[in-house]
Amino acid sequence: MRSVLEVKNLSFGYTKESLLFEDFSISLKRGEIKAVVGASGVGKSTLFELILKNLKAFSGEITASRTSQVFQDPYSSFHPSYSLLNQIQDVASLDGLDGYLNDLNLGYELLLKLPHELSGGQLQRASIIRAMLMKPELLLLDEPTSALDNVIQLEVMRSLIKNLDTMGMLLITHDLELAKWCADDIIIL
């Protein structure tokens, strides 16, 4: 399988004296899920920011295929004044929408609403749908199920796993049991 993410010899910190990453490397292939687990403040979300090139590493190389991301806080990932459907159409084709709605147990009518009109769990599932419709080769998942109850969490993860033939997934989670259940490899920071 082809690599969708290569991080080689990454070094980064918010100061040169206190590095979060020193000579850090990771490789992710299509069909794989790797989980990044660790306490708050160890650099899990910072790693995603580096992969997305929102931060510049001190040294090292990052190569990533077409990427989309599911953020931990779904309310901050949608504009409050536009319907979810408008925001999804701005970045993705709706090809496959019905299947994702069915898999994630969301009704089409919810996409016609504004973000504040949905629960956190509904909005998080809409965020996952938006990310999947972008047809990524690399999907970055930052605590994608933290706003969901256990039953919905399992449904969401099963739906994501069904798509591994087209992508690789890098998952940030505090939930070690979830990581053990779904990940091919767990990276402890």
CA 19 centroid distance within chain: 24
The Cα–Cα gap between 141 and 70 comes to: 5
Is 113 contained in some domain? yes
Q: Could you tell me the CATH number of the domain that includes residue 92?
A: 3.40.50.300
| Contact (Cβ atoms closer than 8 angstroms) between residue 74 and residue 124 | yes
Under 8 Å CB-to-CB from 63, ≥6 apart: which residues?
Answer: 3, 5, 6
Residue 23: count of CB within 10 angstroms of its CB:
11
pLDDT tens digits for range 32-81? 999 999 888 788 889 999 999 999 999 999 999 999 999 888 888 899 99
Is 131 contained in some domain? yes
Is 11 contained in some domain? no
Q: Name the pTM for this structure.
A: 0.90
Residue 35: count of CB within 10 angstroms of its CB:
24
Is 19 contained in some domain? no
User: Rounded to whole angstroms, what are the CA distances from 61 to 7, 9, 93, 151?
Assistant: 6, 7, 31, 39
Is 80 contained in some domain? yes
pLDDT tens digits for range 80-110? 999 999 999 999 999 999 999 999 989 999 9
Is 48 contained in some domain? yes
Is 115 contained in some domain? yes
Residue 110's domain comprises 31-56+67-188
Is 171 contained in some domain? yes
| Contact (Cβ atoms closer than 8 angstroms) between residue 42 and residue 174 | no
pLDDT tens digits for range 134-182? 999 999 999 888 777 778 888 888 889 998 999 999 999 888 888 898 9
Domains of the chain: total: 1
